[in-house]
Amino acid sequence: MTVTPETGTPPTRGKRPKQGEPVIDRALSLLAVFSDRRRALTLSELARYADMPAPTALRLIARLVAWGALERLDDGRYVVGVRLWEVASLSPRGHGVREIALPYLEDLFEVTRHHVLLAVRDNEQAVLIERLSGKDATEVAYRVGGRAPLRSTAIGLVLLAGADQQFQETILKRPPENEPGVPEMPEGQLRRTLSDVRRTGIAMIRRTVPSRTVSVASPVFDAQGAVVASLSIVVPDGSTPPNVLAPAVRAAARAVSRNLGYQAEASAGVRTHSPG
Amino acid sequence: MTVTPETGTPPTRGKRPKQGEPVIDRALSLLAVFSDRRRALTLSELARYADMPAPTALRLIARLVAWGALERLDDGRYVVGVRLWEVASLSPRGHGVREIALPYLEDLFEVTRHHVLLAVRDNEQAVLIERLSGKDATEVAYRVGGRAPLRSTAIGLVLLAGADQQFQETILKRPPENEPGVPEMPEGQLRRTLSDVRRTGIAMIRRTVPSRTVSVASPVFDAQGAVVASLSIVVPDGSTPPNVLAPAVRAAARAVSRNLGYQAEASAGVRTHSPG
């Protein structure tokens, strides 16, 4: 990548900017510093984590605050702003799918009163875009906006099984995910599992950490028949058997798909027949 | 504002950038173009709405797509990306309050099965950060991520009543909001209403458009006693009387406040007494 007149930046007196990294990338890198465990950061923390001089960070932060992408707390730390949240709520793969899915997630939640999750794929991970959880539900590993691995979670396996073949081969070659409490599947078993998920419309994973749970997930399709999201429930292992839960999960995923314009008749494994 | 060496941009061959508008502001202005009715936009639409030459827009868009703030659809249009959604989910005033509030919103939803809303204030408007709606619920005017006026909605009145005095005076001087189906309150009545909201912890508004509804809202306080959010229910006018619903709404708002570290004893109008 080369520096363009539009987005290039001159060298600063302090640390030189990385070659070919335009100012907009550096502003975005400040946003990328925030995470589940870094929700409020000082100027010096932001500069350090984003790897830029504090004066540079301060100038960029001032623009981000002026627009509302960041907000400054009374104690001087910075947090992600509600204006950014507002724009991001227009993300079709984030909020859009979520808004369409929510009533059906709520129906499914009524059945189990534990956890109902909805995720989309971003590169090599699943991003959780919704989680409904009972106040007394069993502990789970993931929060909304957080990421989950593709090969060792039910919600991830569904997204992986629905991805294009070339992407699947890339993921199959990756080193183990080392997800706590989930046995790693050898490549052959993983291939068979992905094939089963495509055929049955259901993925199932047992895990022992942070608690003994069973997850059952099913794909959400868009009007073009692509897997755009994955919907799952997580219940304590030993409560309702997964084969009893699977039809409810698949029905909810199909209802969401239908609302996204999907024609269920066209799908393998979940064919419908008109009566008579 | 002056152009700094860090964020300033040289003039382009086409339309000159606005004086003192750094490249980061222009990138953000591209994000700001998206709205409820503009969720997927072509390059030329983005350039036109953001008021910049198409080549400039294209270069900025390329950086936003590379990072994941925007995504390109198969038809060439651009939408807000799931990566931006992911970062924005860390907004304490957006997703943070929402995550803490959600179980209590669900409890409240069980009571009415219509609409439960949660909003925070951004400048002179309320931003809706959550809405739970029954599939058969009455039609309402607002969507999640959308904005509502402060003086002619119950959820907005609660936020206005909790704002600092100087801000309230500014809003009281604004021209009418002309919210469809809600009679505009004269200034004197509005002042009394805001005072009542502070005293009782309840705001109530009847509206006739898009359907005949009653909204009942109550404030959510943080650990410092500031009003950080407003929680409301919307039901068809003529169903459950507002005075029957008010205690449930106030109880839910207090439960959320308590989870944000608020000491309910310190508040006017909602004092608690230990038994015995």
Q: Give me the tens of pLDDT residue by residue for chain A, a chain 276 residues long.
A: 333 333 334 433 444 444 445 889 999 999 999 987 888 999 999 999 999 999 999 999 999 999 999 999 889 999 999 899 889 888 888 877 888 888 888 888 877 778 899 999 998 999 998 888 776 677 776 777 788 999 999 999 999 999 999 999 999 999 888 888 888 899 999 999 999 999 999 999 999 888 889 999 999 998 888 999 999 999 888 888 888 889 999 999 998 998 888 876 544 444 333 333
A110 close contact with B: CB closer than 8 A: no
Q: Are residues B27 and B110 in the same domain?
A: no
Same domain for B47 and B33: yes
B71 and B97 inside one domain:
no
Q: What is the pLDDT of residues B175-201, one digit of tens each?
A: 888 888 888 899 999 999 999 999 999
Q: Is the CB of B127 inside 8 Å of chain A's CB atoms? A: yes
Q: List C-alpha distances in Å: B204 to B33, B92, B134, B183.
A: 33, 27, 21, 13
| Residue A102 CB contacts under 8 Å (≥ 6 apart), including other chains | A130, B132
Residue B48: pLDDT band with limits 50, 70, 90: very high
- Which one-letter amino acid corresponds to residue A38? R
Q: Are residue A47 and residue A77 in the same domain, yes or no?
A: yes
Which chain B residues are Cβ-neighbours of A28 within 8 angstroms?
A: 63-64, 67, 69
Flag whether pLDDT at B17 surpasses 80: no
Shared-domain flag, residues B222 and B254: yes
B57 shares a domain with B149: no
Cβ-based contacts of B85 with chain A (< 8 Å): 88-89, 91, 93-95, 127, 129, 145
> Is residue A6 in some structural domain?
no
Percent residues over pLDDT 90 in chain B:
48
DSSP-derived secondary structure letter, A202: -
DSSP A275: -
A209 touches chain B (CB under 8 A): no
Q: Is the dihedral of CA A12, A16, A19, A21 positive or negative?
A: negative
What are the backbone angles phi and psi of residue A116, rounded to the nearest 5°?
-125, 130
pLDDT given for residue B269 in this prediction: 44
For B51-70, what is the mean pLDDT? Answer: 94
Residue B50 and residue B101 in one domain: no
Nearest to B24 among A60, A79, A147 (CB): A60
Return the minimum-mean-pLDDT range out of A184-193, B12-21, B114-123: B12-21
Cβ distance B218 to B250 under 8 Å?
yes
Say if residue A134 is in the same domain as residue A224: yes
User: Phi/psi zone of residue A21: left (φ > 0), alpha (ψ -120 to 50 degrees), beta?
Assistant: beta
Number of structural domains (chain B) is 2
- On whether both B29 and B121 belong to a single domain, the answer is no
Contact B82/A144, CB-based, under 8 Å?
Answer: no
> Tokens 């604004």 correspond to what residue?
B174
Within a domain: residue B98?
yes
Q: What is the pLDDT of residue B135?
A: 65
DSSP 3-state percent helix, strand, coil across chain A (nearest 5): 40, 20, 40
Q: Are residues A135 and A61 in the same domain?
A: no
Q: In this structure, how many other beta carbons lie within 10 angstroms of the beta carbon of residue B226?
A: 15
CATH of the domain at A149: 3.30.450.40
**Cβ distance B22 to B3 under 8 Å?**
yes
B15 within a domain of the structure (yes/no): no
Q: Does B15 touch chain A (CB under 8 A)?
A: no
Query: Is residue B165 one of the residues assigned to a domain?
Result: yes
Q: Are A91 and B85 in contact (CB < 8 Å)? A: yes
Encode burial over A98-124: b for 16+ CB neighbours within 10 A, e otherwise: bbbbbbbbbebbebbebbbbbbbbbeb
Pairing between strand A227-236 and A213-221?
Answer: antiparallel
Say whether B145 and A95 touch across the interface (CB within 8 A): yes
Is B27 close to A22, i.e. CB distance below 8 A? no
Does A234 map to a domain?
Answer: yes
**B35, B55, B87 - which closes a domain:** B87
**CATH for B57:** 1.10.10.10
* Structural domain containing residue B37: 23-87
DSSP one-letter code for A152: S
What pLDDT, on a 0 to 100 scale, did the predictor assign at position A268? 45
Domain end among A65, A87, A109: A87
Co-location of A71 and A144 in the same domain: no
- B16 domain residue, yes or no: no
